[in-house]
């Protein structure tokens, strides 16, 4: 009777094995695999139920029966694991292909901002002048007539005051203007410091102007000022020569020609020989061989006197140039309006750096 029971158990195990393996082979999804696991080897499964019944066997048979049942359980579990893993992988693959997600498609490029070409040129100029001992200072864009005109030797009745079509703010009596140039910072700097002075002033300037390819009502200038006891025109020429070389290459030469600006005497306009044709004449330099960079000269004694400097003790030079124009010369841009038009395709052509070249690939 007892031997029969043990025999019965073995038969039962064999039957259960056949059933479990057959069902295991037929599994087709990981959800079904979980059902199978619950039904056969789970805590409420058939194998566990079988193990529980071992307690009813006579003590001497229990160890052998227990081993047999435990071995059976292990056998089912190790048969189950690879099937479960395979079904899981298959499920995953099916889900991926159902979603039809093409992971090789390039993502959408975010629109990354870049440094504006004018800002980039200002940075470059600040670096060049730092090497020559010049410090960058910044002034107000809304100026008084006193700084924009009077202290620059442009008195109220002077015809030169008409040279700039000034944008006047509010009250004409108070003469608050959008500065027509960066030169007002000459007087402001001299008033608040003592020689030796070496500054550059990058910043916006404004003029009431009809716009065309070479005129904008708002543009950017770079002013320069050096004042000391023995500054001469040679110093001015040396500094501007170095600027031209740093910007346009070591072969560049500069040219001074007489010009008039009320705040300098003598005054000059300065030009650099065209780097494209080496001065021979081409479309860019309009067949002159020279590109005009700006105005300059020796600080007028009246300007020095105006801020309380003795012109017999101090001399100085000043210069001013248009930053957009400089970029146009350097990169062959033919319309100044492009800088403020906010066309990202134009602006991106100047931008350096990795994030931008990534954008250009798109």
Complex with ligand DAH: residue 187 or 327, whichever CB lies closer = 187
In whole angstroms, what is the distance from residue 253 CA to residue 274 CA? 9
Question: Do 66 and 50 touch, CB atoms closer than 8 A?
Answer: no
Complex with ligand DAH: residue 80 or 270, whichever CB lies closer = 270
**Nearest residue relative to ligand DAH (C-beta):** 320
Beta strands in 230-301 (DSSP E): 254-259, 264-273, 290-299
Look up residue 61 and give its two tokens.
């048979």
DSSP labels, 129-161: HHHTT-EE----SEEEHHHHTGGGT--TT-GGG
Complex with ligand DAH: residue 109 or 208, whichever CB lies closer = 208
* Burial of residue 225, with CB atoms counted within 10 A of its CB: 0-12 exposed, 13-18 middle, 19 or more buried: buried
Nearest to 186 by CA among 227, 155, 156, 245: 227
Shortest reach from residue 359's CB to ligand DAH, in Å:
36
Q: Which residue has the tokens 């306009």?
A: 269
Shortest reach from residue 113's CB to ligand DAH, in Å:
30
DSSP labels, 269-329: EEEEE-TTTTTS--TTTTTSSEEEEEEEEEEPHHHHHHTT--TTT-EEEEEEEEHHHHHHH
The residues that touch ligand DAH, with contacts defined as CB under 6 A, are 181, 183, 223, 261, 264, 295-297, 318-320
Shortest reach from residue 114's CB to ligand DAH, in Å:
28
Complex with ligand DAH: residue 279 or 294, whichever CB lies closer = 294
Complex with ligand DAH: residue 24 or 153, whichever CB lies closer = 153
Shortest reach from residue 234's CB to ligand DAH, in Å:
16
Shortest reach from residue 251's CB to ligand DAH, in Å:
26
List the catalytic residues: 164, 181, 207, 221, 264, 318
């Amino acid at each position: 009777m007892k031997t029969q029971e043990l025999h019965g158990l073995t038969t039962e195990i064999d039957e259960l094995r056949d059933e479990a393996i057959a069902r295991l082979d037929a599994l087709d999804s990981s959800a079904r695999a979980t059902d199978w696991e619950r039904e056969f080897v789970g805590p409420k499964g058939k194998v566990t139920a079988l193990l529980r019944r071992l307690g009813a066997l006579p003590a001497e048979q229990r160890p052998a029966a227990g081993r047999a049942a435990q071995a059976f359980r292990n056998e089912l579990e190790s048969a189950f694991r690879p099937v479960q893993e395979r079904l899981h992988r298959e499920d995953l693959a099916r889900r991926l292909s159902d979603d039809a997600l093409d992971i090789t498609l390039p993502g959408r490029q975010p629109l990354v901002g870049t440094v504006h070409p004018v800002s980039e040129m200002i940075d470059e100029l600040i670096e060049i002048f730092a090497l020559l001992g010049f410090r960058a200072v910044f002034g107000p864009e809304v100026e008084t007539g006193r700084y924009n005109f009077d202290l620059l030797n442009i008195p109220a009745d002077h015809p030169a005051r008409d040279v700039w079509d000034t944008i006047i703010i509010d009250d004409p009596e108070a003469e608050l203007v959008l500065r027509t140039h960066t030169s007002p910072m000459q007087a402001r700097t001299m008033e608040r410091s003592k020689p030796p002075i070496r500054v550059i002033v990058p910043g916006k300037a404004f003029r009431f102007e009809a716009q065309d390819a070479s005129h904008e009502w708002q543009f950017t200038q770079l002013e320069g000022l050096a004042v000391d006891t023995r500054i001469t025109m040679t110093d001015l020429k040396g500094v501007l020569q170095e600027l031209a070389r740093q910007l346009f290459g070591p072969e560049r030469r500069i040219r001074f020609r007489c010009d008039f600006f009320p705040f300098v005497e003598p005054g000059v306009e300065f030009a650099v020989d065209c780097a494209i044709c080496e001065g021979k004449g081409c479309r860019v330099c309009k067949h002159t061989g020279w590109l005009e960079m700006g105005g300059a000269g020796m600080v007028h004694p009246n300007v020095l006197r105006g801020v309380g400097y003795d012109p017999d003790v101090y001399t100085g030079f000043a210069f001013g140039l248009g930053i957009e124009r400089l970029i146009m010369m350097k990169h062959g841009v033919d319309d100044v309006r492009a800088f403020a038009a906010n066309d990202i395709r134009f602006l991106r052509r100047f931008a350096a750096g990795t994030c931008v070249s990534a954008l250009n690939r798109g």
